[in-house]
Structure 1
Amino acid sequence: MVDNTKTIDDTYTSKATVESINSQVQMKAVMFNQTPGRYALKAIMSGFLLAIVTVFMLAIKTQFTGTNEGLVNLMGAISFSLALVLIVLTNSELLTSNFMYLTVGWYYKVITMNKVLAICLYCFLFNIIGGFILFALMKFTPIMSPEMLSSLTKMVDGKTIDSTWYAILVKAIFCNFFINIGIYVSIQFKDGLSKAFFIACGVVVFVFMGYEHVVFNAGLYAGMVFYDIDAVAWLHVLKNIVFAFIGNFIGGGIFVGLVYAYLNGKRDSLSN
């Protein structure tokens, strides 16, 4: 019988990834504390990118009307994955990825829970503002065709009026689980192409399956404010925002961030 010389530390198979995440969390905290304006600008850029690629996805879906519906949905999902690739590779600040990062940081006592909540809410606010800026610029252009507006309204109704709180919650969990699994894997690679591939994989799944992403949804509602505000059922919008927010935190923060933080080290390991 061969002696087993392995230790618990040897089971921390992606410890380097967790260390990289903790380093990022420390930088996020420094930026939030010392240069909140720069942090806000990075969050605005994330919301702007999500919204402008949403418009791109709507254009694809409407211009390919009549084609096989499943194929069109797949094309839309692939096109939308560009948004998260650009956000991650430009180091912009997105609420849903921060759920994973900040939960890992909290587990290792890099950041307090109060600071986690403050950064998340601040980030979300400016993600929304990014979407508003995009649609404000677009309002007086012919970019949004009548077909695209109809598709936008149908999508919003499906996420608000036609969805129960439980369906929103579960779909939000699945959404951010896939997104953050992709980001977690991408951190293990140095080259941009590999990172982009794994980030895109998670996004394609969530968009194709119609899962709930709270910042993406907020961008849709921003579009409705400029194009058809009377068609929005705001109590149902609030329902979607609240349960998508909670579900995204569970999916990204707990099912990915907390799980892999636990699997790669003891909570007090950084303070020893």
Structure 2
Amino acid sequence: MSYLNPSEFAKKMIDAGEAKVFMSTRDTLIRAFMAGAILALAAAFAVTVTVETGQPIVGALLFPVGFCMLYLLGFDLLTGVFTLTPLALIDKRPGVTPRSILRNWGLVFVGNFAGAILVAVMMAVIFTYAFSVDPNEVGQRIGTIGEGRTVGYSDHGAAGMLTLFIRGVLCNWMVSTGVVAAMMSTSVSGKVIAMWMPILVFFYMGFEHSIVNMFLFPSGLMLGGDFSVMDYVMWNEIPTVVGNLVGGVTFVGLTLYATHARTAETRTRPDPQPADAPAK
């Protein structure tokens, strides 16, 4: 059968985290770069579809195509390694240390950012005919997204920061569920179906994904969005990264590890009464 039970894919999660920790610097950067680029293209695609149809649900339904592509190609997102690599440390895999995990996170962040920025520049060229005209309707929408999800949060002060953080937590709860869901199946169709559902939820609900934002906000700055680099860093990227980390580790990695990889002892069943035992 193509379905793996929870105890089987929980082991796959730990093995995957260990493998990512020990991956070479070159391979880590290449895989992260391609993941960031493909996810950025998917985000541009989803915004384009939303603008042209006027239906956000259509863009959300189609956005997961990018996530599925990058996962099946074996590329890495920061949100995924946030969830998987700590499990190798908790499971006491030999050689896995906090420093090695931080090294992996740093390399994946750099690779994701580089890939997303490259696509941001390329799409800005397309939206403006190489910056020779004003942005088209899709480019203008991306600029608006950047404003609303930076200065839009800052206008609310601490309440806005908390909202941003929670959206980051909920995002990686869903995204990492998609990463893990793909491990439930050994068939391509099973993996795609399992990934599609939680990714659809995250995108339509407007949760904050650090790598998607690596595309949207630099694009917005290039396309005339009324916010600054500091607005983007302080009022989106940093809180989003922290929220993604908390959401992935807490609600996906640790919960599945605790109940499926390190299952507690079952309770003792009471002995059944003999059929001829007197009623109490």
TM range (shorter): 0.7 to 0.9
Amino acid paired to 2:9: T
Say if 1:44 and 1:130, in contact at 8 Å, map to a contact too: yes
Say if 1:256 and 1:202 are closer, same or farther in 2 by CA, change over 3 A: same
1:184 is aligned, of 180, 201, 204, to 180
Unaligned segments of structure 2, at least 5 residues: 130-134, 154-159, 264-280
Query: What residue in structure 2 maps to residue 195 of structure 1?
Result: 191
**Superposition deviation, residue 108 in structure 1:** 0.7
List, as ranges, runs of 4+ consecutive aligned residues in structure 1 with deviation greater than 6 Å: none
1:87 equivalenced with 2:79 (yes/no):
no
Q: 1:102 to 1:125 in 2, by over 3 A?
A: same
Counterparts of 1:96-245 in structure 2, within 5 Å, are: 96-110=79-93, 111-142=96-127, 146-163=136-153, 164-228=160-224, 231-239=226-234, 240-245=236-241
- Give % identity: 19
Distance in 1 between residues matched to 2:100 and 2:148, nearest whole Å: 34
Corresponding residue of 1:16: 8
Question: Which letter does structure 2 place at the counterpart of 1:136?
Answer: V
TM-score scaled by length of structure 2:
0.82
How far off is 1:137 after superposition?
3.0
Match of residue 8 from structure 1: none
- Amino acid paired to 1:62: V
Q: 1:143 to 1:21 in 2, by over 3 A?
A: farther
* Inter-partner Cα distance in structure 2 for 1:58 and 1:143: 16
The match for 1:59 among 48, 68, 72 is: 48
TM-score by length of 1: 0.84
Q: CA deviation at 1:238?
A: 1.6
Task: Please identify the structure whose Cα radius of gyration is greater.
Answer: 2
Q: Is the 8 A contact 2:142 2:216 kept in 1?
A: yes
Number of equivalenced pairs: 245
Q: Which runs of 5+ in 1 are unaligned?
A: 1-12, 66-71, 268-272
For the pair 1:44 / 2:44, whether they are aligned, the reply is no
CA contact (8 A) 1:18 1:104 kept: no
**Following TM superposition, by how much is the alpha carbon of 1:112 offset from its aligned partner in structure 2, in angstroms?**
1.7
Shift of 1:222: 2.6
**Aligned equivalents of 1:129 and 1:188: distance in 2?**
31
The two structures, once aligned, show a CA RMSD in angstroms of 1.9
CA contact (8 A) 2:87 2:254 kept: yes
User: 1:249, 1:48 → 2: CA distance?
Assistant: 21
| Distance in structure 1 (CA, Å) of the matches to 2:108 and 2:191 | 23
Q: Does 1:262 align with 2:258?
A: yes
* Contact 1:43/1:93 (<8 A) preserved: yes
Deviation of 1:142 (Å): 4.8
Task: State the 1:186 CA deviation.
Answer: 2.3
